[in-house]
Amino acid sequence: MQINDSGAIVAGGASGLGEATARALHAAGANVVIADLNEERGNALAGELGDGAQFVRADVTNADDVDAAVQVAAQQPGGLRISVCCAGIGWAQKTAGKRGPHALEPFEKVIAVNLIGTFNVLRLAAQAMRSGEPTASGGRGVCVNTASVAAFDGQIGQIAYSASKGGIVGMTLPAARDLSADGIRVCTIAPGLFETPLLGGLSDEIRESLGNSIPYPSRLGRPDEYAALALHIIENEMLNGEVIRLDGALRMAPR
């Protein structure tokens, strides 16, 4: 799929992995819609990028919000061809323990944002892509979702987060099969330990320790490395229905 002159939406695009992806897509010539709840950061990023970038406030769990953002992206020159969903939250709590059972509300919230929110973006973006003109090879669009190595190596206290990311992994192949007749590809990136707002509250000492736990390179991943893989998926027509770990050979220990 050609990135230059294509319309793109990046959900969760105001910070972290999404911001890096929005920047990379814009630099490659895409017309990017940054969809996020953070209006201050989203507007600032769109203003910095300039022509070919705009911000739309959207809660990924809200169908009307996402549909409005998708429609803005679909109206871009070239139509909507690219969707990347990076929106996500975390929560740490054991299934049961001294303090009682895992609270239900935060579990539901993590599932709602990470899993249902990703599906919300996927379903609406794919529907908009279906109405686009196919490329010479029959392609109409590419959807890239974000899981985590926690989908496979969930640690103690990660029950909610791992469940949400495992759901995204599970959606990947059936979504790709569902949309294959329309020339729409679906892939998922499962990052390891990355420099994102989810790790922003940790001390430098802990961040260094986390980086040292990665076999090679022994450091936290950079958001631009996620963005580079997202762009490669978009451009490589044979990548479809695949979940790609981006983790420096990391396999998470129980704690």
Strands 80-85 and 141-146: parallel
Set 55, 161, 194, 226: catalytic member: 161
Q: In whole angstroms, give the CA distance from residue 16 to residue 146.
A: 12
Contact assessment for residue 187 and residue 118, using Cβ atoms and an 8 Å cutoff: no
Nearest to 83 by CA among 120, 39, 121, 114: 121
Concerning whether 226 is annotated as a catalytic residue, the answer is: no
Q: Crossing angle of helices 117-130/159-179, nearest 10°?
A: 10
Q: In whole angstroms, give the CA distance from residue 100 to residue 73.
A: 45
* Strand intervals (E) in the chain: 7-11, 31-36, 53-57, 80-85, 96-97, 100-101, 141-146, 184-191, 243-246
Q: In whole angstroms, give the CA distance from residue 88 to residue 110.
A: 8
Q: In whole angstroms, give the CA distance from residue 111 to residue 91.
A: 11
Contact assessment for residue 161 and residue 169, using Cβ atoms and an 8 Å cutoff: no
Q: In whole angstroms, give the CA distance from residue 140 to residue 184.
A: 5
Which residues have a catalytic role annotated? 161
